[in-house]
């Protein structure tokens, strides 16, 4: 009898950038989570499954990103094995077998073990990328070589513009798409496939630019991995924001990415491919969006020069702010002259991990609450009653939905635990202060935009007023 337990399991792709409701610590390209990237969900590969779990907030108590970029820890090996067994209709799956399957990836260089850390593995995303999109020779890119543990990744990552550029042999010049490459309508063939930078949000993980990427979760330090001059802290909101990096409004505890509308409006200002981060129909949304689509003059309001606000990457990033910014700017400007781009923080995860005291898997086993029906991020674990053959213990497999909503409510609503949202100082650092992560124009928006629509604009105006007053006083 065929196993139908997961035959209908189709996990929708998730956006490359996370909304506040999708609190996660890393943003990986959506294809990395797509079950269709493997030959059918029924034959989902383990590493895809791992990514799925890692993606889902409700499983952060079971498996979660931790430590270096791409590194994850299996907090509950038995639970992960159980979920994997459910997925594969292998009721007798256990961690020993699961780990054997993970070890199977060692030789394939998709995973490797983090020595000295229990149940901790690390994705080799350069390999993963190659598996999915071999056209990107990332394995040979200095950008990724430095991250690659299999070629002596302890070397300082090469974050030079050339290294970064080596990842993107072709940059799009117009239009937007929904996949890794925009399929050029006028230029079929290799030149018609336009790489979407936004399909690689993980490039912004910071890992390639960090000798030691920021640690993320509970027991790990949350300070920036290195010191920044002038007290710059990339993990604070607005650290990369516009106009000499003014802070976000007081209520904005998180970078703009966590606010859908600001995100959209910000992205919509950007030239392609950054504007393509927005869903179709939204990229041009707002009064400032259209210019980005047309490669127009957005980002240069008032004729101000292009300015970039980049963190000074240490180590190999001797190029510092302006250099890499110029490199990026040049690339962007090649397509959209005069477009200013700035860099903002990567996604900050609020995850329900060790910080929030979420339910243990055992506790959640009794719950079975289907949470957030609107979310597309639920892992569809279905009954194994249809599982075939050796499922003599199939009664052990039930539908167990994790009630992450409850834990999320605790995070967000329980005043004792979080007071709506934890203070920014209590937040884990965002993972990716990398320039490619999210780019926001640094120049002020056109005056047509009511300040009420943009707290950042209001701040900017306030800042200008302050500057004016200072000038008057001086």
CA distances for 38 relative to 10, 160, 198, 347, 446, angstroms: 12, 33, 21, 26, 45
- CB distance 77 to 98 below 8 Å: yes
CB of 76 to DNA, least distance (A): 11
Minimum CB distance to DNA smaller for 74 or for 328: 74
CB of 100 to DNA, least distance (A): 4
Nearest 5°: the CA angle 33, 34, 35 is: 115
Pairing of strands 181-183, 71-74: unpaired
Q: Is 7 in the site for DNA (CB under 7 A)?
A: no
CB of 391 to DNA, least distance (A): 10
Which residue stretches of 5-155 are H helix? 30-33, 46-55, 77-88, 95-108, 125-132, 142-145
CB of 402 to DNA, least distance (A): 21
Q: Is 92 in the site for DNA (CB under 7 A)?
A: yes
Which residue stretches of 123-245 are H helix? 125-132, 142-145, 161-166
Binding residues for DNA restricted to 369-398, rule: CB under 7 A: 389-390
Q: Is 416 in the site for DNA (CB under 7 A)?
A: no
List the one residue out of 17, 14, 122, 2 whose CA is nearest residue 63.
122
Binding residues for DNA restricted to 244-303, rule: CB under 7 A: none
Packing angle, helices 77-88 and 95-108, rounded to 10: 80
Query: How many residues contact DNA, by CB under 7 A?
Result: 29
Q: Is 99 in the site for DNA (CB under 7 A)?
A: yes
CB of 7 to DNA, least distance (A): 12
Put the strands of the sheet holding 120-123 in their side by side order: 63-65, 71-74, 120-123, 111-113
Q: Which of 10, 36, 117, 414 binds DNA (CB under 7 A)?
A: 117
183's enclosing H/E stretch is: strand 181-183
Minimum CB distance to DNA smaller for 256 or for 391: 391
Q: Which of 119, 133, 200, 235 binds DNA (CB under 7 A)?
A: 119
Binding mask 19-58 for DNA (x = CB under 7 A): ------------------------xxxxx-----------
- Whole-angstrom distance, CA of residue 428 vs CA of residue 351: 9
Minimum CB distance to DNA smaller for 19 or for 38: 38
Q: Which residues bind DNA (CB under 7 A)?
A: 43-47, 84, 88, 90, 92-93, 96-101, 103-106, 108, 113, 115, 117-120, 389-390
């Amino acid at each position: 009898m065929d196993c139908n337990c997961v035959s209908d399991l189709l996990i929708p792709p998730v956006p490359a950038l996370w909304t506040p409701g999708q609190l996660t610590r890393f943003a990986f390209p959506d294809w990395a989570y797509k079950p269709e990237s493997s030959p059918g969900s029924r034959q989902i590969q383990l590493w895809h499954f791992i990514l799925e779990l890692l993606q889902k907030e409700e499983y952060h108590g079971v498996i979660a990103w931790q430590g270096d970029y791409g590194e994850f820890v299996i907090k509950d090996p038995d639970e992960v094995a159980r979920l994997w067994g459910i997925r594969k209709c292998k009721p007798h799956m256990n961690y020993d077998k699961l780990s054997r399957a993970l070890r199977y990836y060692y030789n394939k260089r998709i995973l490797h073990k983090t020595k000295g850390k229990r149940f901790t593995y690390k994705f080799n995303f350069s390999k993963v990328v190659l598996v999915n999109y071999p056209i990107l020779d990332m394995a040979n890119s200095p950008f990724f070589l430095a991250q690659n543990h299999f070629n002596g990744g302890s070397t300082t990552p090469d974050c030079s513009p050339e290294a970064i550029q080596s990842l993107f042999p072709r940059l799009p010049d117009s239009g937007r798409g929904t996949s890794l490459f925009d399929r050029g309508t006028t230029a079929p063939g290799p030149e018609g496939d336009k790489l979407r930078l936004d399909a690689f949000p993980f490039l912004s993980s910071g890992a390639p630019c960090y000798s030691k990427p920021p640690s993320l979760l509970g027991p790990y330090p949350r300070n920036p991995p290195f010191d920044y001059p002038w007290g710059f802290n990339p993990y604070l909101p607005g650290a990369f924001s516009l106009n000499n990096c003014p802070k976000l409004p007081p209520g904005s505890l998180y970078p703009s990415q966590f606010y859908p509308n600001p995100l959209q409006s910000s992205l919509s200002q950007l030239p392609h491919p950054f504007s393509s981060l927005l869903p179709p129909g939204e990229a041009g949304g707002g009064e400032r969006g259209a210019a980005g689509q047309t490669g127009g003059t957005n980002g240069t309001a008032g004729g101000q020069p292009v300015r970039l606000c980049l963190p000074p990457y240490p180590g190999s990033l001797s190029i510092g702010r302006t250099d890499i910014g110029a490199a990026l700017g040049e690339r962007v400007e090649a397509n959209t002259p005069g477009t200013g781009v700035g860099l903002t923080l990567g996604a900050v995860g609020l995850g329900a991990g060790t910080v929030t005291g979420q339910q243990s898997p055992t506790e959640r086993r009794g719950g079975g609450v289907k949470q957030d029906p609107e979310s597309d991020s639920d892992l569809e674990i279905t009954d194994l009653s249809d599982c075939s053959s050796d499922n003599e213990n199939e009664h052990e497999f039930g539908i167990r939905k994790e009630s992450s909503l409850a834990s999320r409510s605790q995070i967000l609503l329980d005043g004792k635990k979080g007071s709506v949202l934890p203070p920014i100082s209590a937040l884990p650092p965002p993972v990716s202060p990398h320039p490619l992560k999210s780019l926001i124009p640094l120049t002020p928006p056109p005056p047509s935009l009511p300040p009420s629509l943009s707290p950042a604009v209001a701040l900017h105006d306030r800042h200008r007023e302050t500057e004016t007053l200072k000038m008057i006083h001086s």
